């Protein structure tokens, strides 16, 4: 069985994000970019399933400009077998939204025919949390989102997924092929070791375009402006209860 | 080198450092501690000259309280209140108790008074008064020093610079920062990073240490290999002398060859020649691309060859080259929270952390990967990982920076900071392991790129027998290699009588002359840095 893992190149989680002065988007030039943390967890889970014998091959896929190949190389250095790079140059006014991403991944999945597609639950740049769900809908496959545990039964072609939901943990059983999205507690991703980095150099990255896949990614949404949220006013330290009462009465007018 | 240390042993053996072993430490490495337990009772000003029961100390810490120093009176306190205001004078027992103990819990003083000046003029008035009254003074910054230099020995008045924490100005074309001495290093780093620059030094204690203290101890740290010493990066400073004279040398010029460059006297003299109040420091440009790799090596020779190869092949982008042995990794995994072992399957004895900093991400990464893969093929590196994002890089650094913190959690730490020729650097670690056997855990780690070993010997408690097995052997060994017995930590109280291991008698005599010239009443940080016999 093959596992397809979708990964995204985003601004590094530890970087302090700034809005560009022209307010067209967020500053990404000269800023450290890395693989989305949830996508790292997805790659790790796929690798563990392969190591447990439940899958034979792990294929990493990404959609983005030439630099996104770095993210695929990270996935390959972690241990993925091959990669697919769907080339797409981003337009800040019309960014690639989850529906378009899901359509592209559907096309890739129909070509690769995996038994399982694993994605991160959301990307840390847009926080959409939609791609996995939309992909499952487009493919008409079952979905196990916010996975905190995945157990694969190869013979029965079923996946048991524990999901982190508001009320606690929900356990569901999915018939393969299926879509799983990863949550934080699913696993601790491995480091890219030097031997694996060396092996990754000879692994294949197939390059395609959305046109090759016959996917129309025209977006109906246009980004008009990106601004920072208004600055929070500093808190005031009061020196007595009388002062507090006065402020509550006369400034906040809640008394 | 003559072993004059034994001459000191012939003096009256009485006083000693009161020592207190803290059973279980739950504090972060950079915060004040509460609930310090004591074996002895508390000391009052009247008892300051009493002999203290000896519970810990090296053979040479037999220093009596110098009776030439006056004792604090209520008139003194009133005077200080008149110049500093009530908030600037602290007599509260809990706050003073914290300021009386060093970060390692190894040295405890008996000061009754903590002063918090808010300006250079206030510092000047304090020192001028103390000089006239002959009150001994300890300048204190973040109190993270590792040789007992930042806490009182007896009842010296603590002058804390914590109230002088303003950033005065920043030249963002040239990258020159001017600030007060009480600024915390991490805060300065955050500030200059926002402007596109970085501080030229970085160390594990950054969350608590003050830049004034860093300069007074000529701190080295993790970026030394790339940016060099504070002697090179400090452009100017303002200091207050023992008699209250304000010495304004706060220039922001890169080049100024007019006369003797006095600021160098204050850099590294550990508060014994003057109190640093303001500094101007050069900050290098912040480069966007950082890569960190964590490697394992089979033997120490490979580590050395790797250093040579790194200098040659990584050259201008190399920004850190740290080493640690497997005992350090084990300790870090046992005692630090939230760290992951980057090379869990590794059985090797040596680990290297390499960091590169440059202006082009893909170029640097290619260069580093190429270098490491070649090193692996050449057998210099057994295995390794490269951080793929900032979190992974932080994890690697956390292990290296957390060794000190983890050591303190075991109980007693005997810490030695030695400069040794690189080829012999690890030999002392193996020798100490032989000497101590199962009685103690010996860790070796440090700035291999600078030839600086941190030797930590861990034991469940401090005990004189253990100490006798370690000292003076470590110092003699280092001296025989013509190394330094204190690469970056300074002499403080711990090594105040040990300078002869690394400096000639003539040099020490000249240092004493300078001390007597600048501080004739010897009120600044007494009992430390230089041996009592030359003062």
Contact state of A191 with B385 under an 8 Å Cβ cutoff:
yes
In a mutational test of the A interface, the residue from B372, B388, B393 whose CB has the highest number of chain A CBs within 10 Å is B388
CATH for B289-481 is 3.30.70.2190
pLDDT class of B462 with cuts at 50, 70, 90: confident
pLDDT at B438: 87
**Minimum-distance CB partner of B386 among A13, A35, A197:** A197
B289 touches A at CB < 8 Å: yes
B71 touches A at CB < 8 Å: no
pLDDT class of B461 with cuts at 50, 70, 90: confident
**Minimum-distance CB partner of A194 among B361, B372, B391:** B372
Distance from CA of B395 to the nearest CA of A (A): 11
B341 touches A at CB < 8 Å: no
Contact state of A13 with B385 under an 8 Å Cβ cutoff:
no
Query: Cβ(B172)–Cβ(B195) under 8 Å?
Result: yes
Cis peptide before B5 (omega within 30 of 0): no
CB burial readout A167-191, b (16+ within 10 A) else e: eeeeeeebebbbbbbbbeebbebbb
B394 touches A at CB < 8 Å: yes
pLDDT at B425: 93
Handedness of CA B49, B51, B53, B57 (dihedral sign): positive
CATH top-level class of B167-282: alpha beta
CA A163 to chain CA mean position, Å: 17
**For B295-337, what is each residue's pLDDT tens digit?**
999 999 999 999 999 999 998 999 999 999 999 999 999 999 9
Q: What is the mean pLDDT of chain B?
A: 88
Considering only alpha carbons, which residue of chain B is nearest residue A14?
A: B390
**For B391-450, what is each residue's pLDDT tens digit?**
999 999 999 999 998 998 888 899 999 999 999 999 999 999 999 988 899 999 999 999
Count Cβ–Cβ pairs < 8 Å, chain A vs chain B: 62
Closest CA to B175 of B156, B155, B199: B199
Tokens of B199: 């501080």
pLDDT over threshold 90, residue A104: yes
Tokens of B420: 């040794």
Predicted ipTM of the assembly: 0.87
Contact state of A193 with B384 under an 8 Å Cβ cutoff:
yes
pLDDT over threshold 50, residue B7: no
- CA-to-CA dists, residue A52 to A152, A180, A193, A252, angstroms: 10, 18, 20, 61
pLDDT at A85: 97
Contacts of A77 in chain B (CB under 8 A): 386, 388
Name A116's bridge partners.
A3, A178
Considering only alpha carbons, which residue of chain A is nearest residue B193?
A: A16
Residue B249 Ramachandran class (φ > 0 left, ψ -120 to 50 alpha, else beta) = alpha
Contacts of A13 in chain B (CB under 8 A): 389-391
Record the pTM.
0.83
pLDDT over threshold 80, residue B170: yes
Name B169's bridge partners.
B178
Contact state of A191 with B342 under an 8 Å Cβ cutoff:
yes
pLDDT at B47: 39
In a mutational test of the A interface, the residue from B341, B360, B389 whose CB has the highest number of chain A CBs within 10 Å is B389
pLDDT at B62: 67
Domain extents for chain B?
74-160, 167-282, 289-481
pLDDT over threshold 50, residue A150: yes
Which of A112-126, B227-241, B273-287, B409-423 is predicted least confidently? Answer: B409-423
CATH superfamily ID and name for A2-251: HUPs (3.40.50.620)
Which of A71-75, A119-123, B112-116, B410-414 is predicted least confidently? Answer: B410-414
Q: Where are the beta strands (DSSP E) in B102-227?
A: 114-115, 137-140, 157-160, 167-171, 176-180
B399 touches A at CB < 8 Å: no
- CA-to-CA dists, residue B330 to B343, B348, B381, B399, B489, angstroms: 11, 12, 20, 10, 25
pLDDT at B46: 38
- The residue-averaged pLDDT of B137-163 equals 96
CATH for B74-160 is 3.30.43.10
What percent of chain B stands above pLDDT 90? 80
pLDDT at B38: 38
Considering only alpha carbons, which residue of chain B is nearest residue A190?
A: B342
pLDDT over threshold 80, residue B61: no
What percent of chain A stands above pLDDT 90? 77
């Amino acid at each position: 069985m093959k596992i397809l893992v979708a990964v995204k190149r985003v601004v590094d989680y530890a970087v302090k994000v700034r809005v560009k002065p022209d307010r067209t988007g967020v500053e990404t030039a000269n800023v450290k970019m890395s693989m989305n943390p949830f996508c790292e967890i997805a790659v790790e889970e796929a690798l563990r399933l392969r190591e447990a014998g439940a899958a034979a091959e792990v294929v990493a896929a990404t959609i983005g400009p030439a630099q996104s190949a770095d993210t695929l190389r990270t996935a390959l250095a972690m241990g993925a077998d091959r990669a697919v790079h769907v080339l797409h140059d981003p337009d800040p006014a019309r960014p690639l939204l989850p529906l378009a991403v899901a359509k592209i991944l559907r096309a890739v999945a129909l070509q690769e025919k995996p038994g399982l597609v694993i994605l991160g639950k959301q990307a840390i740049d847009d926080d959409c949390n939609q791609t996995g769900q939309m992909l499952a809908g487009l493919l008409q496959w079952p979905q196990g989102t916010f996975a905190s545990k995945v157990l694969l039964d190869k013979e029965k072609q079923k996946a048991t997924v524990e999901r982190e939901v508001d009320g606690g943990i929900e356990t569901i059983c999915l018939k393969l092929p299926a879509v799983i999205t990863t949550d934080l507690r699913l696993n601790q991703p491995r480091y890219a070791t030097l031997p694996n980095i060396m092996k990754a150099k000879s692994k294949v990255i197939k390059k395609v375009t959305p046109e090759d896949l016959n996917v129309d990614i025209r977006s109906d949404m246009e980004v008009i402006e990106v601004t920072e949220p208004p600055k929070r006013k500093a808190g005031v330290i009061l020196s007595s209860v009388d002062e507090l009462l006065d402020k509550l009465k006369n400034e906040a007018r809640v008394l | 080198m003559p072993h004059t240390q034994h001459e000191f042993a012939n003096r009256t053996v009485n006083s000693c450092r009161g020592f207190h072993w803290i059973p279980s430490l739950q504090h972060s490495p950079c915060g004040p501690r509460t609930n310090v337990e004591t074996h002895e009772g508390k000391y009052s000003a009247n008892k300051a000259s009493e002999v203290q029961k000896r519970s810990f100390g090296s053979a040479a810490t037999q220093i009596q309280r110098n009776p030439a120093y006056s004792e604090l009176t209520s008139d003194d306190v009133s005077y200080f209140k008149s110049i500093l205001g009530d908030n600037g004078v602290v007599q509260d027992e809990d706050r003073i108790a914290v300021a009386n103990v060093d970060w390692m819990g190894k040295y405890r003083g008996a000061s009754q008074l903590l002063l918090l000046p808010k300006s250079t003029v206030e510092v000047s008035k304090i020192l001028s008064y103390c000089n006239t009254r002959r009150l001994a003074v300890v300048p204190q910054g973040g109190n993270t020093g590792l040789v007992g230099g930042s806490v009182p020995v007896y009842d010296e008045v603590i002058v804390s610079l914590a109230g002088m924490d303003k950033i005065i100005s920043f030249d963002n074309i040239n990258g020159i920062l001017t600030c007060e001495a009480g600024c915390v290093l991490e805060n300065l780093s955050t500030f200059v990073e926002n402007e596109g620059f970085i501080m030229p030094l970085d160390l594990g204690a950054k969350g608590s240490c003050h830049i004034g203290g860093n300069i007074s101890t000529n701190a080295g740290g993790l970026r030394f290999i790339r940016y060099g010493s504070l002697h090179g990066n400090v452009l100017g400073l303002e200091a207050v002398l023992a008699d209250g004279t304000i010495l304004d040398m706060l220039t922001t010029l890169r080049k100024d060859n007019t006369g003797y460059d006095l600021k160098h006297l204050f850099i590294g003299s550990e508060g014994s020649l003057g109190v640093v109040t303001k500094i101007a420091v050069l900050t290098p440009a912040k480069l966007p691309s950082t890569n960190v790799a964590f490697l394992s090596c089979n033997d120490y020779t490979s580590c050395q060859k790797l250093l040579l190869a790194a200098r040659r092949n990584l050259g201008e982008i190399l920004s850190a080259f740290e080493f640690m042995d497997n005992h350090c990794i084990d300790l870090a995994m046992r005692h630090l929270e939230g760290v992951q072992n980057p090379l869990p399957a590794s059985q090797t004895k040596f680990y290297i952390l390499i960091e590169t900093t440059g202006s082009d991400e893909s170029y640097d990464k290619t260069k580093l990967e190429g270098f490491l893969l070649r090193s692996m093929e050449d057998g210099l590196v057994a295995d390794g990982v490269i951080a793929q994002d900032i979190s992974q890089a932080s994890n690697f650094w956390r292990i290296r920076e957390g060794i000190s913190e983890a050591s303190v959690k075991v109980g007693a730490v005997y810490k030695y900071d030695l400069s040794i020729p690189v080829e012999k650097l690890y030999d002392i670690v193996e020798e100490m392991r032989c000497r101590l056997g199962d009685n103690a855990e010996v860790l070796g780690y440090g700035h291999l790129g600078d030839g600086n070993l941190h030797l930590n010997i861990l034991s469940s408690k401090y005990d004189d027998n253990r100490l006798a097995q370690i000292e003076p052997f470590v110092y003699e060994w280092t001296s025989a290699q013509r190394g330094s017995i204190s690469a970056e930590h300074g002499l403080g109280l711990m090594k105040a009588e040990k300078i002869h291991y690394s400096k000639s008698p003539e040099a020490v005599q000249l240092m004493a002359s300078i001390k007597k010239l600048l501080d004739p009443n010897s009120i600044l940080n007494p009992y430390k840095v230089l041996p009592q016999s030359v003062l």
